[in-house]
Chains A and B, each alone.
Chain A
């Protein structure tokens, strides 16, 4: 995995990655979808996905977070992508104070 720019990564066909989400001041889980498949967290809480498309194509990780009235303004979801070697790439932080329309985040995975 290689980070090309914010929320955009290069990955190879067949390569596996993980999305880790740290919750700060909130408890309810975000939703993680890879292309059109819902991912469930593994025992460590990470969302594991495998690139299936061929070179030149693009796949998507879609993270949908939501905050409630009772969540403090400091609540946030910190997104980290992790490659097979364990290298971690900090990605977007979705904050309660962000415009709600941006609480749905799209990460591009460019297949090389």
Chain B
């Protein structure tokens, strides 16, 4: 009895283990071709579902196409190994190998049919056998139907210009490297109003188009993502460290403290109020730098001039005038109306991206990455030329010739609204590139070796671009670090007084970034009478004072419409103390004067800022009386304004 039970269990175990082994073998056999075939079958099944919406159908078609490409590759690789083994196989294996080869050839034919390719056997005389259709999302006939044609249902090879009669009316896959480049080219053409403006982009566009044809999408995914991250638009300077308005001693000043930097070209401020004066006034302040004069007739503010005349950027000058005629403020810029003039010397080194520190950093860290990117692209383009120059150059010509696709499209649609024209051009370029590669499929050399090289080129280019992105990000951070370093300026100001004696102010101005987004500014000054009047209790030393300010950057101004202008709204709190010895013991005057100011600066357009401040003082210089003041104005920074004008004057 026990013997029977043991034998039965052993038999069951043998049967089970045999079944398991068979299943394991099947799974192993299904690892590559079989599982890919199952994937293809699943996508084909989805493709037949009538309820599928257009977007899902398009995505499914793309996946189906890619799966078919990969299946094709797998079968070819297996077939190649099987044929190789057959030549010197022992008799016992020959039949099995022969059956395997037949089965693989049948599968290959089926896949080639699905991909609408000329059969492998028909290309026996051509070594460039493996050609693949670019995408399942090819526009339909004459643009009357924009639905994509699923690869599996395409009736024959996608060849023939008539299928693309209205190329740009069709849909092109979005967010591919090709579409990104086509978009950039379209924007360039429209901004320059010149259909040949993007001719220098066409080789990269053809590289992208050829990659789309020859490399399955899943291998291009990372590449496209890298490229998308790289080309995020840059932003402009955020700094708020320029003194454009009058000094605190001027009648119309809105500032209780001065900033260390100054305009290099021209600054212009109209302010109303008073901080340290007893009488409200309205002033006009003009400021500039000798650098603007030195470079005026020599090409202006070029990099070469900046490097050559860099020393002059350390010097600044300004003049403040009391405004009589508020309808014509510039008419007040006369010597008679001069309220104060000032010269400044910045004693910290240049902190901008034009500085030697930054250029050294750039040349050591960023330039090598830029070079890597150029070399990677150069290699890719040379490989394309080595293998497929005839087709590539013919397509280039068709796109860029004076009567080529781009010029024709531009000529026919140039009167359309700009956005419509850019969209249309982008689609036209993408579509024509796909169309041209498809039409010339049989002339292209896309061997396995070509594909491998192209894959390597794409990887190398993506890595180079990624390295470049990292280097640029680090350079931006280094630039921010430079801006955070201390700034120091010495200012000499001469006050022209109508009632009291003229005097000079010697001032040291420091600024240092506190933990972001705070900034700390300090002023220390002393002023001297030119001709002290003993009858007015005056000595040579008129006063000394100190001021400290915390500034908070609240973010980009909502009123600045230029998306590239990052001008910041700022809030600042300033406290200052002034000691005036001449007021000691004088009736109705106070020797120790304190101010507390809250200031709000709102950029209302590029280069134009509306400052408003609220100041409490325990006394003015002339009258002992607590008071509140509200000061406001408008400042114009021509450094920024000239940039804006230059951009808007571009064709």
Contact = CB atoms under 8 A, between A and B. Distances in A.
Nearest to B402: A5
Contact of A71 (B187, B197, B353): B353
Interface stretch (A11-19, A23-31, A82-90): A23-31
Interface residues of B, number: 73
A91 B184 CA distance: 18
Interface string B354-379: 10001100110011001101110111
A108 B198 contact: no
Contacts of A27: 303, 306-307, 353-354, 358-359
A55 interface: no
A44 B190 CA distance: 35
B375 A99 contact: no
Contact of A99 (B183, B358, B362): B183
B199 A5 contact: yes
Contacts of B400: 5-6, 8
Nearest to B377: A62
B470 interface: no
B644 A73 contact: yes
B472 interface: yes
Contacts of A67: 234
B389 A72 contact: no
B365 to A, nearest CB: 11
A25 B303 contact: yes
Contacts of A108: 203, 396
Given A27-B354, A58-B393, A69 B476 contact: yes
Given A24-B303, A28-B362, A97-B650, A106 B183 contact: no
A31 B373 contact: yes
Given A6-B197, A33-B371, A66-B370, A99 B184 contact: yes
Given A23-B302, A25-B303, A73-B644, A98 B199 contact: no
Contacts of B374: 31-33, 38, 62-64, 104
Nearest to B185: A102
A102 B188 contact: yes
Contacts of B468: 66
A107 interface: yes
B204 A36 contact: no
A106 B188 contact: no
Contacts of B2: none
Contacts of B479: 68-70
A56 to B, nearest CB: 8
Contacts of A72: 236, 639, 643
A27 B350 CA distance: 13
Best-surrounded residue of B232, B382, B393 (most CB of chain A within 10 A): B382
Interface in A35-63: 35-38, 57-58, 60, 62-63
Best-surrounded residue of A7, A70, A97, A108 (most CB of chain B within 10 A): A70
Nearest to B232: A100
A35 to B, nearest CB: 5
A74 B371 contact: no
Contacts of A68: 234, 353, 472, 475-476, 479
Interface in B628-650: 639, 642-644, 646-647, 650
A30 to B, nearest CB: 7
Nearest to A45: B304
B472 A66 contact: yes
Contacts of A98: 184, 187-188, 191
A79 to B, nearest CB: 9
B338 interface: no
Contact of A24 (B188, B302, B379): B302
Nearest to A91: B200
Contacts of A24: 302-303
A31 B367 contact: yes
Best-surrounded residue of B188, B370, B377 (most CB of chain A within 10 A): B370
Given A30-B370, A36-B378, A38-B374, A99 B237 contact: no
A98 B651 CA distance: 12
A57 B384 CA distance: 12
Best-surrounded residue of A30, A38, A95, A101 (most CB of chain B within 10 A): A101
A67 B373 CA distance: 15
A66 B378 contact: no
B196 A5 contact: yes
A51 to B, nearest CB: 14
A31 B185 CA distance: 21
A101 B180 contact: yes
A22 to B, nearest CB: 8
Nearest to B180: A101
B51 interface: no
Contacts of B566: 69
Contacts of B183: 99, 101
A69 B232 CA distance: 12
B233 interface: yes
A31 B377 CA distance: 12
A38 B375 contact: yes
B249 to A, nearest CB: 32
A30 B379 CA distance: 19
B389 A58 contact: yes
Contacts of B237: 69-70
Contacts of A28: 353, 358-359, 362-363, 366-367
Contacts of A74: 642-643, 646-647
A106 B198 CA distance: 10
Nearest to A92: B200
A70 B643 contact: no
Contacts of A73: 236, 564, 643-644, 646-647
Contacts of A32: 374
Nearest to A8: B199
Nearest to B306: A27
Given A27-B359, A69-B479, A74-B642, A106 B381 contact: yes
Nearest to B464: A64
A34 to B, nearest CB: 8
Contacts of B191: 97-98
Contact of B650 (A30, A60, A70, A95): A95
Given A26-B354, A27-B359, A63-B374, 7 more contacts: A23-B304, A26-B353, A57-B389, A60-B381, A72-B643, A101-B183, A106-B200
Report, nearest first, the 4 A-B pairs whose CB atoms are least far apart.
A33-B374, A31-B370, A101-B184, A7-B200
Interface of B: 180-181, 183-185, 187-188, 191, 196-204, 227, 230-238, 301-304, 306-307, 352-354, 358-359, 362-363, 366-367, 370-371, 373-375, 377-379, 381-382, 385, 389, 393, 396, 400-402, 468, 472, 475-476, 479, 564, 566, 639, 642-644, 646-647, 650
12 contacts: A27-B354, A28-B367, A29-B363, A31-B374, A36-B379, A38-B375, A58-B389, A68-B472, A72-B639, A100-B230, A104-B374, A105-B201
